Amino acid sequence: MSVIVRDDGFHAEDFEGSAVIEIASNTGIDALPASFEGVEMIAVGFPAFSDGRGFTLARHLRNRGFGGRLRAKGHVIADQYAMARRAGFDEVEIPDDLAARQPQEQWLFRADWRDHDYRSRLKA
């Protein structure tokens, strides 16, 4: 099983759509979909917390106009949640064992990602 993490905490899987694309972290930018018509969700894989390529893929997907649900899936740790949200992810899907090691409180602590964005402070 897995746990879905959003700004308000842990959730059970609630996606009921059928049009999902899964993208591996080693997918090249040129191999990303050219069109998102009919795609309701894209899940970008994170095989290890040390593999940050998914953050770059998320930014490219958003820059190309994907407006659906964007999910980071796999080994994302609570410390990376703010980065995931800033990169364009709507949510993170983590395995149950990771949720047990990093409970909801640790993720909620980082849910104020908008308030602590260094780029916003630089603009002020």
d(CA 63, CA 100): 34
Express each pLDDT in 60-85 by its tens digit: 999 999 999 999 999 999 999 999 99
d(CA 102, CA 78): 7
pLDDT in tens, 6-65: 999 999 999 999 899 999 999 999 999 989 999 999 999 999 999 999 999 999 999 999
The tens digit of pLDDT for each residue in 93-107 reads 999 999 999 999 999
Torsion sign over Cα 59, 54, 81, 50:
negative
Task: Answer positive or negative: Cα dihedral of 107, 112, 117, 118.
Answer: negative
Q: Residue 38's pLDDT is what? A: 94
What is the helix (H) or strand (E) element at residue 104, kind and residue range? Answer: helix 104-108
